[in-house]
Amino acid sequence: MTFLNPFVLFGLAAAAIPILLHVFNLRKLQTIEFSTLSFLKELQKTKIRRLKLRQLLLLFLRTLLVILIVMAFSRPTLKGSLPGGLAEQAKTTAVMLFDDSQSMTASDEQGELLRQAKNSAASIVNLLKDGDEVFLIKLSDVPTDGTKEIPSSQRNFPAIRSALKDIKPSSIHRTIEDALRFASRLLASSKNFNKEVYVISDFQSGSLESKLNVSNAAERLFAATTQFFLVPLGKRELQNVSVESIEIPNAIFEINKPFVVKAKLVNHATSDVQNHVVSIYQDGSRVAQKGVDIRAGQSVETDFTLVPKLAGFLEGTIELEDDELEFDNRRFFTVHIPEEFRVLLVGNSSDLTYLRLALSTRLSDTSASLKMTESSLDRLSTSLLSNTDVIVLSNPPELTSSQMSILKTYLQNGGGVLILPGAHTTVSAFNMSIAAALGISTIAAVDSQSGTSQGTGLSVEFEKVDLRHPLFAGMFEKDETKQSAGTPHSQRILESPRVLKSLHFIPTPHSKTVITLSNGYPFLIEERIGNGRALMFSVAANTEWSDLPLKGLFVPLIHRSLAYLVQEPITDLSLFVGDERTIRIRTSVAPALTVTKPGGMEVLVNTQQRPTDKSIRFPDTDLFGFYTVKVGNLILDKFAINIDPDESNTTPSNEKRQEKMLMHLGIASNAVHKVHQPQEVQRIITESRLGAELWKQFLIAALLIAVVEMFVARDSKRSLTTAATRTNG
């Protein structure tokens, strides 16, 4: 027996009151002889014995009455149920965690898993009684940030059954651990003693444990009396191959310039697949396909080459041939090929001479055109940057805090900056303003006699070049005169300038050195600042520091540096259904944008003005596919949303892994009940439920005892009065 209000049991001490009163009434009194009391001796001994028995009976009844009243208020409850409806069913709060993920679209010999889940959930609802409350929580509705408001429980069971019928597969991926944490919040406010959590799922490995940063220490999220019912579905192994991820190596995207797309394919089954067809689509048309072999439980990587034919946004898809699960056979990506980008040259006119000449030349007919604007440093403002794709900062002096704030905000919001030093670039000026504000590499010294220790006179040259960097794709030439013995004939080299004066950069751990000079210091270094990038040269764009402006390398290197900085890193590849997408547009746009979702539905979104950009937070990503951002008919952005690859991991999780996850949440093994067959649901739940609440029975018994006590007390008083009358007579 369990008591729902156990603290009331302290009231049992009141049962001692009748006993104490009885004992005090029996205390020995001083005897005083009166002549009239002699007649009492004539009372029969049997009468006295009968009166004492009635007094003991009254004592027992009064004590029992107190005990029954206290027991009634403590709400005793029995496990199971009493026959004939003799006990009232204890109220229950049930949280039903329903897996509506895409993996539930699989089928076994009993049909589709989602349909089986609905039938099992309906059986559970049929066991609920009037007064019980239910939370029906789909896994796709489980929040991941803990900010979602607690929904209200439901007591309208027909409405719950109707809601179950309307459940459709969702592309949002959530884990069972996340759902259990949310369930603990739902049960925390419940006052019902019976607390039950039902998990109806296929319990695949990818949907078991949370990927969020949670404590490694064991937790205790639920009351000890909470019961858990696991209803695993799916009786056979699935043959499933998925596209787990797509990678596009850093590249400068241009018309008619090929780039590589790499795809990772995973075989989640226990049998090998051979010649599995994988295709790549460009703007809806298949451009290539191949067959791949994947061993059971293993993954392979394959790659394709795409060649953009038009400027704008390219829509790409990697697609597999059909298998038992179709939702993970496609993965989407987008690439932006700019037709024109806007360059802001900041500096004195004399410092921009060679840069102006280099940028006035177009490398090819297919390369993006440049729209140049010049400005002095003192005119740098947020309004000027709002219509700029990339900034060239030449010969910067020490910047003011206001100028650095503008520049930092621009970079953090996805902008690109190319920095070249000059006569005004001193160690203290650069380190105290630019380096300190942006958190980038500092300058150790300005060296005008670099390389003397290497025996190269008064100049140094390139020593190491990161040939894998996108800047150098297609920029190499063969130079047999500079080949050493044993060097391959096809060695690729860059024409090195003679460097007479340079900055000695000290890279940070997050910096990336692209070109290193023979003195060991970087010639070209890349920095990441927020969502933006910066490229820094250690030499000025003039002939006093080096002969770089006179080399054939100068024009393509400057052009490609700007093209690289214009293109923001591709982030769509890691965006999953349900993730929030932040769209950054550094241009003047209307106060409202239209986002077209997969399937053609349009969503109107208000823009949020920021100092140097329009920042749009778009959370309505409940479908996988392509999203298009437009103002009228003008396309401002396109991005792709994919399904979380963990949803494709359909390998059943073993019981040990499930137990480990439950123990981490503080759920004892004896509180967990597994329902392997749908027909067992009712029996298992009934046997485990604390169901018979007896407070009414105790209260009725107390009332009956009170009535009996009243009659016994009245009869005892009448008998005592009669005996006294006879004695006096």
Least Cα distance to 603 among 588, 623, 576 occurs for 623
Please give the structure tokens belonging to residue 543: 């002939």
Asked if pLDDT for residue 431 goes beyond 70, the answer is yes
Please give the structure tokens belonging to residue 282: 């460009």
Nearest-angstrom CA–CA distance, 438 and 534: 10
pLDDT at 64: 83
Least Cα distance to 472 among 489, 488, 493 occurs for 493
CB 102 within 8 A of CB 330: no
Q: What are residue 634's phi and psi, to 5 degrees?
A: -85, 120
pLDDT at 687: 63
Least Cα distance to 142 among 205, 213, 216, 199 occurs for 199
Lowest-confidence region among 310-319, 333-342, 479-488: 479-488
Residue 347 is given by DSSP the state S
Beta-bridge partners for 446: 503
Rounded average pLDDT over 146-156: 81
Rounded average pLDDT over 130-148: 87
Asked if pLDDT for residue 368 goes beyond 50, the answer is yes
Highest mean pLDDT among 3-17, 60-74, 494-508: 494-508
Question: 159: part of which helix (H) or strand (E)?
Answer: helix 157-165
Asked if pLDDT for residue 34 goes beyond 60, the answer is no
Q: What are residue 572's phi and psi, to 5 degrees?
A: -60, -25
Residue 316 is given by DSSP the state E
Beta-bridge partners for 101: 170
Q: List, for residues 89-105, the tens digit of each pLDDT value.
A: 678 899 999 999 999 99
Rounded average pLDDT over 564-583: 83
Lowest-confidence region among 92-106, 475-489, 614-628: 475-489
Asked if pLDDT for residue 269 goes beyond 70, the answer is yes
The beta-carbon contacts of 674-679 under 8 Å, at least 24 apart in sequence, are: 674/229, 674/230, 674/232, 675/120, 675/229, 675/230, 675/231, 675/232, 676/232, 678/116, 678/119, 678/120, 678/123, 678/231
**Mean of all residue pLDDT scores within the chain:** 84
Nearest-angstrom CA–CA distance, 235 and 258: 47
pLDDT at 43: 52
Nearest-angstrom CA–CA distance, 278 and 289: 6
Q: List, for residues 277-328, the tens digit of each pLDDT value.
A: 999 999 999 999 999 999 999 999 999 999 999 999 999 999 999 998 999 9
Asked if pLDDT for residue 476 goes beyond 60, the answer is no
pLDDT band at 452 (very low <50, low <70, confident <90, very high): very low
pTM for the whole structure: 0.76
pLDDT at 42: 53
Lowest-confidence region among 26-40, 112-126, 159-173, 277-291: 26-40
Nearest-angstrom CA–CA distance, 123 and 80: 19
Angle between helices 157-165 and 113-126 (to 10 degrees): 180
pLDDT at 314: 94
SS3 549: helix
Residue 150 is given by DSSP the state P
Nearest-angstrom CA–CA distance, 223 and 185: 11
Q: What are residue 587's phi and psi, to 5 degrees?
A: -160, 165
Which position has the token pair 């603290």? Answer: 7
Nearest-angstrom CA–CA distance, 678 and 675: 7
Lowest-confidence region among 340-349, 461-470, 708-717: 708-717
Nearest-angstrom CA–CA distance, 680 and 22: 56
Residue predicted with more confidence, 171 or 586: 171
Q: List, for residues 625-680, the tens digit of each pLDDT value.
A: 999 999 888 888 899 999 999 999 988 888 899 999 999 899 988 899 988 776 67
Q: What percent of the chain has pLDDT over 70?
A: 81
Q: What percent of the chain has pLDDT over 90?
A: 50
> How distant, in Å, are the alpha carbons of 270, 272, 273, 320, 630 from that of 296?
5, 5, 7, 17, 44
Side chain identity at residue 544, one-letter code = E
